[in-house]
Amino acid sequence: NAGVTQTPKFRVLKTGQSMTLLCAQDMNHEYMYWYRQDPGMGLRLIHYSVGEGTTAKGEVPDGYNVSRLKKQNFLLGLESAAPSQTSVYFCASSTGSYNYGYTFGSGTRLTVV
């Protein structure tokens, strides 16, 4: 089925370890986003991209890096994981049209111990 695929679905990291979360979409969307969801905080934007080769900071970018080398993929990296980065991470994509909503992936649950 067409949509947004996130890998992995679950991960446990030790403090200081690094990892990369992968987001892939097959809808030819220009815009892609990474959000984190924490209880009582809603969704907060980490980084986003308005097209292949572009990235920009969102609301809570510290401790994360991103890359968009291919239009269909948007990678989120944690260079040195901290317990404060324990969260559920969601990727989303959009056409960029203002009357078009986002398509979300099913999320990655990350625990940093």
Partner 1 sequence: AQSVTQLGSHVSVSEGALVLLRCNYSSSVPPYLFWYVQYPNQGLQLLLKYTSAATLVKGINGFEAEFKKSETSFHLTKPSAHMSDAAEYFCAVRYGNNRLAFGKGNQVVVIP
Interface ranges with partner 1 (CB under 8 A): 4, 31, 33, 35, 40-45, 48, 50, 56, 58, 90, 92, 94, 96, 98-99, 101-102, 104-107
Torsion, CA 56, CA 86, CA 90, CA 11, rounded to 10: 120
Distance in Å, CB of 109 to partner 1, minimum: 9
Distance in Å, CB of 68 to partner 1, minimum: 14
* Residue 99, token pair as written in the block: 């009357």
Q: Which residue lies nearer to partner 1 by CB, 64 or 90?
A: 90
- H helices of 1-113, in order, are none
Distance in Å, CB of 16 to partner 1, minimum: 28
How many of the other CB atoms lie within 10 Å of CB of 24?
18
Q: Which residue lies nearer to partner 1 by CB, 69 or 101?
A: 101
Q: Which residue lies nearer to partner 1 by CB, 17 or 43?
A: 43
Torsion, CA 7, CA 8, CA 13, CA 19, rounded to 10: -30
